[in-house]
Chains A and B, each alone.
Chain A
């Protein structure tokens, strides 16, 4: 078993309190992770400016090379982990063993991270709209077109309160190091692996160790990160998002309520888009905020639900090592049962039918096992937008197929992180472009889970970390 200390600006700290991370299926103890008490975080954050200062010693171009190299190391190298080492295969096995995600999905998430790291120059060029990154480090400069600009970092470090169940979120913070901003992690209890491995990859590539801290711990450690970092990202449920909605220091990432809208001009050809719907609902085991949880159309909704359910009803658990394994396990005891209970209550509403259950001859969606649980895919049909389940999101392959007139869709869908609108209707497309309740907009048949890494996600990280401001310099002559 590996002993993993907390990291305080790159220095290992072995705590008297440790959390044992276990394999969800076998109960094997994989690691003992040192837990940080909130006071340690509060105290360390008083020295956060040193993290940025260390990064500013390294030219941005060098940092870009280092993260590119780190991407390769993260993907291919045996890297230090606590008092041992970890190969890429170990990493996949451990991440799968604690998060419940099938191993092939863990590998796929690794590939995403590597892609972003290896293409960081292009990603940052897109996110900054072509700004010379040296200007961010220096604080001011002149754009190529001759316009003077100034950008001010809003925080020396970015705090990250990460989830346990969704290893796909890490691409969001990867651009931070080449922006010469330090990283402060509070990992999810079941997923300490990525922050530690990425940190070792960065260090092996030459990124100063003192730029990164990792504080495993309970909710109080997360609260300490948010309280003591001037800029933080947190991942959580709706209550978390609500709690930080008006806090400019915190960017809260929660459920996406992502949707596919079928315009009246395309809906009669709905069968052509069935593959996109299946991929959007089932990809990454339905765990991501970009997974589709609602398919809205003005007609054919029963047929769509029936066809989608027919494709998903028999998609069941397979071993985590199976390269075709489609479903992630719920490894936190009681969680799947609670989710199932919540959904069952919503299904009691009039005008709602669980189509998958009918196709599965009434077999329950909850499969309880000795050490983990599974929820089988669920497709619900809603005759209107009124039932609560019409706009619900769960952490397994779940979607409501909702009947709604096209003219009411934009106002009724509520907040939607990813909206794939299958329509060529110019007026509808214009309205969709103007809709402020939609974050990422895909026009045409694009799966909701298809990301373009050159595009911002839920707010541009550059705008979150840097403020554009006026700057003038007079001459003394």
Chain B
């Protein structure tokens, strides 16, 4: 059960067939994606508006992307995107000419050793998180409430993005930083005492803010920091719910069904939590509601058409695996600020069916790609 680069229209004859209404939504999303692909490719390869990197890249292509890329499937004509292209400068080569005079942010990923990958941004992170905001229930993330952002800031996008999300919803965001590059060094050096002291230092700051009477009702935290925060509160005889927290948006590292179950059953004291999958290159994928009845299965849907997630055969990235089958996660980013035509993430997952809210493919069971897992340090913060 497989399909050639099919993305938004599950046509596998052997798979479950969508209702006519869902079929219509799937087709509409597919058409919208194709139109978006044409717009974005023309933008990045246009000599007037385009991105220096892609304009230079196009010189070695045997086709003209502006003419020959008509659909999402046509993007397979590009070779896989190598993330090493993002390491080192000049960073300006990633700024579309049309945006040359705009204020530019640069966000980094990786970088514990060697040169980190850089991605430029202008408004993408705001747009991504405003779209995500539309998925948040108001009773769990009350408009106007203040937030606590507990996670990495520094060169990463996360702090600014979460802060913007909070501001977009009318609140003020308190931020506590954690430097994951230092955490990885502490782990590699075996400095366990320092590691624990640093973790405590971070959690102590978070608890201080929660106790300071700032009407914080929503929290962003990575799963590990959320766990540490809840355990520290339990030690003090209280819970996030008792501290007035109503909603938690968590992400940044791997989520497993078992951890989610543990969090729901033993840590969160009834507080609502929504898992997310995201990174600097993609943006933010929201999750389908996670329930005990569904075995705490976590299914993410990319913010199409701005980004597309596919699950592909690890040995043939042009072949999308069948629904329910396992493969490697392939990302395509399609915004006017940033274009990535097919990048193989360091994750594997199962391909999931579209549904009413997200009429395109989802991914579930996201975890480190098993062929890399032994050599990757993940989820340190």
Contacts and interface: CB of A to CB of B under 8 A. Distances in A.
Interface in B230-245: 231, 234-235
A470 interface: no
B364 to A, nearest CB: 13
Looking at B227, B234, B258, the one whose CB has the most chain A CB atoms below 10 A away is B258
A117 B167 CA distance: 65
A78 B258 CA distance: 32
Given A16-B296, A42-B231, A247-B193, 6 more contacts: A16-B256, A17-B258, A37-B262, A39-B231, A39-B266, A227-B196
A37 B196 contact: no
B180 interface: no
B257 interface: yes
A46 B232 CA distance: 11
A15 B258 contact: yes
A135 B240 CA distance: 43
Given A227-B192, A247-B192, A39 B262 contact: yes
A338 B266 CA distance: 42
30 contacts: A15-B258, A16-B258, A16-B261, A16-B296, A17-B256, A17-B257, A35-B258, A37-B256, A37-B258, A37-B259, A37-B262, A39-B227, A39-B231, A39-B259, A39-B262, A39-B266, A40-B262, A40-B266, A42-B227, A43-B231, A43-B234, A43-B266, A43-B267, A46-B231, A46-B234, A46-B235, A227-B192, A242-B190, A243-B192, A247-B192
B295 interface: yes
A43 B227 CA distance: 10
A39 B257 contact: no
Looking at B231, B262, B263, the one whose CB has the most chain A CB atoms below 10 A away is B262
Contacts of A43: 231, 234, 266-267
A16 B365 CA distance: 12
Contacts of A226: 192
Nearest to B261: A16
Prevailing SS type, chain B contact patch: helix
Contacts of B193: 247
Nearest to A39: B227
Nearest to A240: B190
Interface of A: 15-17, 35, 37, 39-40, 42-43, 46, 226-227, 242-243, 247
A40 B260 CA distance: 12
Contacts of A243: 190, 192
B198 to A, nearest CB: 13
A243 B257 CA distance: 32
B339 to A, nearest CB: 37
Contacts of A37: 256, 258-259, 262
Given A16-B296, A46-B235, A39 B267 contact: yes
A15 B296 CA distance: 12
Contacts of A39: 227, 231, 259, 262-263, 266-267
A339 to B, nearest CB: 17
Nearest to B296: A16
In the A-B complex, the 4 residue pairs with the closest CB atoms: A243-B190, A16-B258, A17-B258, A39-B227
Contacts of A17: 256-258
Interface string B171-195: 0000000000000000000101100
A40 B259 CA distance: 9
Interface residues of B, number: 19
A189 to B, nearest CB: 14
Interface of B: 190, 192-193, 196, 227, 231, 234-235, 256-259, 261-263, 266-267, 295-296
Contacts of A247: 192-193
A332 to B, nearest CB: 12
B192 A16 contact: no
A275 B178 CA distance: 60
A29 B263 CA distance: 30
Looking at B235, B259, B263, the one whose CB has the most chain A CB atoms below 10 A away is B259
Contacts of B256: 16-17, 37
A227 B296 CA distance: 28
B134 to A, nearest CB: 30
Contacts of B266: 39-40, 43
A16 B231 contact: no
A15 B295 CA distance: 11
Contacts of B258: 15-17, 35, 37
A33 B263 CA distance: 21
A227 B295 CA distance: 29
Contacts of A35: 258
Contacts of B231: 39, 42-43, 46
Contacts of B295: 16
Nearest to B199: A227
Contacts of A42: 227, 231
A17 B256 CA distance: 9
A17 B235 CA distance: 27
B232 to A, nearest CB: 10
Nearest to B256: A17
Contacts of B263: 39
A94 to B, nearest CB: 25
B187 to A, nearest CB: 9
Nearest to A15: B258
Looking at A35, A39, A243, the one whose CB has the most chain B CB atoms below 10 A away is A39
Contacts of B234: 43, 46
Contacts of B190: 242-243
Contacts of B262: 37, 39-40
A195 B34 CA distance: 58
Contacts of A46: 231, 234-235
A6 B380 CA distance: 25
A46 B235 CA distance: 8
Nearest to A245: B190
Nearest to B263: A39
A395 to B, nearest CB: 20
Contacts of B235: 46
A226 B235 CA distance: 19
A138 B296 CA distance: 47
Nearest to B189: A243
A454 to B, nearest CB: 34
A42 B199 CA distance: 14
Contacts of B196: 227
A100 to B, nearest CB: 21
A261 to B, nearest CB: 33
Contacts of A227: 192, 196
A218 to B, nearest CB: 10
B188 to A, nearest CB: 11
A37 B256 CA distance: 10
A226 B234 CA distance: 20
Nearest to B257: A16
Nearest to A250: B192
A226 B266 CA distance: 22
Contacts of B296: 16
Nearest to A223: B192
Nearest to A220: B379
B93 to A, nearest CB: 40
B229 to A, nearest CB: 11
B118 to A, nearest CB: 30
B202 to A, nearest CB: 16
A19 to B, nearest CB: 12
A247 B194 CA distance: 12
Contacts of B227: 39, 42
